[in-house]
Structure 1
């Protein structure tokens, strides 16, 4: 993303409070970067070329790039200033920076007073990192001043508290590492099948339990990681009911510690999104309902936060309908739920915007309105290059290939296939599904006789069953069942009917 594109995205994603603060500060400054700000604010989602043309018409013989750099820096500083009143973490680290300045200016009394205040607040918020840095600074400064009015007992007490924070951070990091390792194995290796894999999994569990048992005092972050580890372990061994109870426990833990939430509670939202994504991968639609209800309680006064919640709620209410081939109900939900969401989509992150467009496109695809499905996906494919960095982007390109196939645009399929193959070679990593889709859409002359089609499907069926059970491949299949679509084309069956039939024969959790 260029600096200009980043600036446009940044301004389009500003909240009402941020816009009000920045607009009032810039008003009547008559500077070039002020003019640039209002050009971007009034021309939402415009390209860099359009913005630069408007800028040069208004600010002749000036540098567009210089104004971009200055305005970008100014907006980030303004947001940072506002965040100090919304998120305690920002305030704590801002206080630490101020304490350093006070010490450098020989304002020792004010410096130690601010560090003491910061340490107290950090402990209240269980922010061990802020407590560690502020405690370490305090001890360094006391040493440089030869410990004024500090007895040995007080010094030892300060050192003990700092070491205690270090121990908590160390155990948190160890638990996080175990969780990351477990998740990585789940993504790339799937469930433990061999004796060696089972032993490795048991080793992870035993290590995790030993860390938990060695930590006596309560700590929300450690409890949170423990619940996540337990839930993912239980999913790995197939105990979905117990895994769901662990997710309930995690949510209860977060709800009981609202005093630790930022404003808005973005980290709680991330936790709920992570739970929902895991439940979706398991097709546990009943479990998803509870956490969608929790999301609905989170609506607040921040527009960008509400838009993110609104998008997540819509997606996870839509997914069970899409996955079961109920495209008519999906369309009705979209009509009743997305007016406000689409109006404020500029407030969404790139990944959420891409996911929203993909799912809306899939609704039209299921209804066989392929031109409309293509039009929606093109807003991602031909938009900013930054979308191409998203893991979801290749799935979007695959869906686009399916749309081109349905539209019988075989010339463009060849072009798109070559592009995708080049990208796969550059990435040096591909899904089997990608290769199957590219191969299938480029062989568009299917046998006419039903008997020959049946033989063709019989050849592919066993191979597709193995792909659908592959944990690595499931990352793509969770968005759209490409294999069922191929079967529907070979067997001349309506895609929506086939996917409904398969889901009914294999009901969700």
Structure 2
């Protein structure tokens, strides 16, 4: 829980921090939890042991764990109250709780007044689960008041509305189920199969078509899931033109239903992020600027600070990857220089892989501008992080790129040490790839220091290793970030 608390406090905006402090001032007791809040907020370290030690110096009589539990609850309460004020979905859930509370206290009329006020909001927002709960609460009220003031015809009509909502909910659930199974199969089965991809998914496609052709009313959520299913499917089977069309239709759906977006519109953000990631994967970089601009349009003042920061960091990542593909290194450097240092700092709400990719592309831009010291600064910032997932391809890319950088900086002592360390780290199940062996050979032989005739001999000797390098999918993924093979060829020119 302590790690979650640290991440939660680091995600707070200045306004949210002020609000928490204002609420704490109203209390009279010793505020050990405020001291802990300040320690977490001001510390550069995210290690709970260090923060706990500092807390015990200030509050030796208090339990750090108990204080952390109370602080977590206090911060969460502040954030929930903010969401109730700003987000219609939270207003609905809060209102349902109030209505249920009044009902338990036998204040049936007050409960019914609350329910009737919430029903139009739920219908407008197309929140099917909440609409059903409210409709069920309305029917419960009629039953508990012995159906006073309501005839049978109206009662049956309201019961039918509840049944229709359940049908729509089932329809939505079926869409969710198919989309989830599709993602699971593509993420687990197709990684092991290089042929027959379309056959593996045929049953899902037929089921999805059956749902779409069902006479049930199609709400926003079901339409969104249908388009997500299609875009995911078309991308993975290689039908990129159909996938692109679906991307644009999906974005249009979100834009046309702007009033229904929650605050912040995290679903729309996730959709744009998924589209851009897919475009990057299939190398349709020309289409990326349109969706990057849509992402930047989500950076609006009425959205929370943490969300706006998340949007800016994500858009920056895709911009730098776009410049990298086009080899527009000067534009990439201009973008890096115009971005505050906080834009590259670690952020608890950004995915670890995205943060690593952002730092890598910044390093890559400086590398191509021949500023190896700045490139190394970014790579070191990444490799020294304790939270890195060492099993992910981006970690191997960064370590191998680090070796390339030190080769360009002519640091043979470090290279000898790092290559030995690299080999020790990636052994057994994580055995070295032919590409890595080839790069190590190039670095060790140092062709840039050799006469031309000797390099010609080495080129012939390295032919078998060169032919083997880059032949497996894992290596192709590594070279998606940096063309190590092309770099090696340049060393012989």
1:257 CA displacement: 0.6
Match of 2:22 among 15, 20, 24: 24
- The answer as to 2:244 corresponding to 1:272 is no
In the alignment, is residue 356 of structure 1 matched against residue 358 of structure 2?
Answer: yes
- Give the whole-Å Cα distance in 1 for the aligned partners of 2:153 and 2:50: 67
Task: Note closer, same or farther for the CA distance 1:417–1:175 as it changes in structure 2 (3 Å cut).
Answer: farther
- Deviations 1:297-327, CA, capped at 9 Å, x for gaps: 2221232222222212222221122234444
User: In structure 2, what is the equivalent of residue 453 of structure 1?
Assistant: 459
User: What residue ranges of structure 1 are gaps of 5+ in the alignment?
Assistant: 495-509
Q: Contact 2:435 / 2:469 at 8 angstroms: preserved in 1?
A: no
| Residue 277 of structure 1, CA deviation | 0.7
Higher relative contact order (CA 8 A, sep 6+): 1
Aligned residue pairs, count:
472
Offset at residue 205 of structure 1 (A)? 2.9
Q: Within the alignment, does 1:6 sit opposite 2:4 as a pair? A: yes
Matches within 5 A, 1:2-401: 3-27=1-25, 29=27, 30-45=30-45, 47-139=47-139, 147=147, 149-187=149-187, 189=190, 197-215=197-215, 217-301=217-301, 302-339=304-341, 341-342=343-344, 346=347, 348-351=349-352, 352-367=354-369, 372-385=374-387, 387-388=388-389, 393-401=392-400
Give the unaligned 5+ runs of structure 2. 407-413, 448-453
Which has the higher mean CA deviation after the structures are superposed, 41-50 or 218-227?
41-50
- Structure 2 vs 1, CA of residues 9 and 233 (structure 1 numbering), >3 Å: closer, same or farther? closer
CA distance in 2, matches of 1:65, 1:193: 50
- C-alpha distance in structure 1 between counterparts of 2:357 and 2:219, whole Å: 34
The 1:463/1:174 distance shift into structure 2, 3 A limit, reads farther
| Conserved 8 A contact 1:365-1:403 | no
Contact 1:381 1:397 in 2 (8 A): no
Name the SS of the counterpart of 2:462 in structure 1.
Answer: helix
- CA distance in 2: counterparts of 1:126 and 1:185, whole angstroms: 30
Q: TM-score, normalised to structure 2's length?
A: 0.83
Alpha-carbon separation, structure 1, partners of 2:475 and 2:179: 21
Tell me how far apart the structure 2 counterparts of residues 462 and 145 of structure 1 sit (CA, whole Å): 79
Local SS of the residue matching 2:298: coil
Q: 1:144 & 1:436 partners in 2: Cα distance?
A: 74
Distance 1:332 1:285, change over 3 A: same
Name the Cα RMSD after superposition. 3.4
Q: Which residue of 1 aligns with 2:417?
A: 411
Deviation at 1:254, TM superposition (A): 0.7
Alpha-carbon offset, residue 32 of structure 1: 0.7
Cα distance change, pair 132–54 in 1 and its aligned pair in 2 (3 A): same
How much does 1:476 deviate? 5.2
Distance 2:210 2:127 in 1: 23
Task: Tell me how far apart the structure 1 counterparts of residues 118 and 476 of structure 2 sit (CA, whole Å).
Answer: 46
Deviations 1:31-85 (A, max 9, x none): 1112222233333556434433442332232222221111011101111111112
> What is the rounded CA distance, in whole Å, between the counterparts of 2:123 and 2:284 in structure 1?
38
Deviation at 1:125, TM superposition (A): 0.6
Work out the CA distance in 2 between the residues paired with 1:380 and 1:463: 26
Aligned to 2:450: none
* Deviation, structure 1 residue 267: 1.8
Match of 1:503 in 2: none
Following superposition, the deviation at residue 255 of structure 1 comes to: 0.6
Cα contact 2:300–2:308 (8 A) shared by 1:
yes
C-alpha distance after superposition, 1:177-206 (max 9, x if no partner):
333344445555279985x54344444333
SS of aligned partner of 1:276 = helix
Describe the SS at the equivalent of 2:262: coil
CA contact (8 A) 1:172 1:221 kept: yes
CA 350–244 in structure 1, closer or farther in 2 if over 3 Å, else same: closer
Q: List per-residue Cα deviations over 1:313-346 (Å, max 9, x = no partner).
A: 2222211222344444432321123446247x54
**Residues 126 and 219 of structure 1 are in contact (CA less than 8 Å); yes or no, is this contact kept in structure 2?**
yes
SS of the residue corresponding to residue 314 of structure 1 reads helix
What CA distance in whole angstroms lies between the structure 1 residues aligned with 2:140 and 2:436? 62
Which deviates further from its counterpart, 282-291 or 17-26? 17-26
Counterpart contact for 2:435–2:475, Cα < 8 Å: no
Change (3 A) 1:127 1:454: farther
TM-score (norm 1): 0.80
**CA distance in structure 2 between the partners assigned to 1:118 and 1:141 by the alignment:** 15
Provide the residue aligned with 1:499 in structure 2. none
